[in-house]
Chains A and B, each alone.
Chain A
Amino acid sequence: MTYGDDPITWNEREDDLLGLNTYTYVPDMSAIMQSGNRYVYGLNNPLKYKDPSGHIAIVDDAVIVLILAGGAAYTASAAWLNSKEGQRAVQNTVVVMIDGVSYMGNALGFVINDVISWGQGASISSAKGSKQSGKEKANDRPDWSKHYPKQPDESGKDYADRVMNEKYGAGNYKKGPGSEHNKLKKWGDRGGK
């Protein structure tokens, strides 16, 4: 295994086992950020954090606010500074910037708090609970998804058995990994809505 030369990528190494520009985390380092579990993403909370570079989990909204604040400050040019409008604009910009910095501070606080709480072995439920992004996707699904609705009290296994029996006849289908039955069962176990 070869560690990357770039110090920014200190927590990554080239995955020479696969050789496909993928990477694995160095366990000792990633343990700090991921509470010893390398199979989670964005500090166990993909709703709150984004990790597009793999370098650090960030709250994207905070970054956007700061960029907007910076852009607003830039537009307050020198010509405006002596005018009432310019002064008001500067005042507003300062307020926006303060809000942005405050937001970023809160975001950083969330990150620090979460790192500390995971370091203390907090349960997974704390990672996926509050502060969702509010960017829930519309349920994009085909019309035929309504053909076989799962009953509320039905287990994934019962749902898969019912659909497969109805479709192919009792026992006239394969089970096991990768089978249609298994996919229906797993979807049902996740809620199947």
Chain B
Amino acid sequence: MSTIKALVAGLCASILVGCGQGEVKHFDANEYPQALSDWGIIELQGTQLKVNDSAVVYELNTALFSDYALKLRTVFMPVGESANYHPSETFDMPVGSIISKTFFYPKDSEGRLLTTNTWQGDPKEVSTSTHHLVETRLLVKQTGGWDAISYIWQGQEAYLSITGKLQRLTLANNKQLNYLIPSRNQCASCHATNHTTKTIRPIGIKARHLNRASNLYQANQLTHWQSKGMLQGVTRPVEANALWNDESASIKHRARSYLDINCGHCHNAEGAADTSGLLLDYEDHPKSAMGYCKPPVAAGSGTGGRLYSIVPGHPAQSILSFRLDTDNPAMMMPELGRSLIHKEGVELVSAWIAELEGECI
């Protein structure tokens, strides 16, 4: 086997063009390579973004809003190993697993970034002649647990960044975007979903996010993972979050799904934002904990002068709508990961609050 790999590697080294499907490599935490391509997961070949054949591309139902960036997600597990299913928690994945998420934007002829989306999720459609690559984040499962690192694209390669970076990008409307590439510790700000244990976990690798059809593989993603031997122990029924813009789903389901992925990593019973007493993950909580007529605890100017997180029927009086509808870092939610307002997200959450019934005294 190793001889074959060596031969293939040798072949790649000599030909390269048209090959590009080398081995995915695993590195220990103190040996992370400077160049993303060393991992073998994802790289640029010419203008074309290439994903290793042994990695599986996946999508989420509603995803975290990240300044309108598009995201190409891949998951790799060592050959012969698989993840263990859990109905509500992040799947337990084998050591050696690597998850990648590449953030990019379509660009216009002048290189300005577009916030409109026509991409259908196929990596073959991602080319640097029509897209601007920003960063690729990796979650790497070591023996001690998950590790989060980020690579910043610069020309043909992406380079490891421990401290993160504030990138000033220009949008098609000529507005500036202060895009924050997270530092290593900032990765934990979201991925340590249990803020007491501070254990880093993938956020999207949950049944409710993955349970959807894959455009790329023409199958339900969980079924596809099972058929590839990547997932075991699936029990049904499987929860599914809505796509936030799927008008066939109820506004309630879409809004709860949106809050779950955008807020629930901190606003859960063990999360960093449990200090606020406001729980926005897709679990059953008392209404007041979900924000109904709940006064803020330490929101500062983030209240926007409003009295409750949610005033049923009145989004314009609800702190939740205010904090989504501002780009002031002192007031906005989430605190990290965006510098623009997701107008469509604000509209969805506001539409949900508008249809809620009840009264705050």
Do A and B come together as binding partners? no
Name A residues whose Cβ lies closer than 8 Å to a Cβ of B: none
Name B residues whose Cβ lies closer than 8 Å to a Cβ of A: none
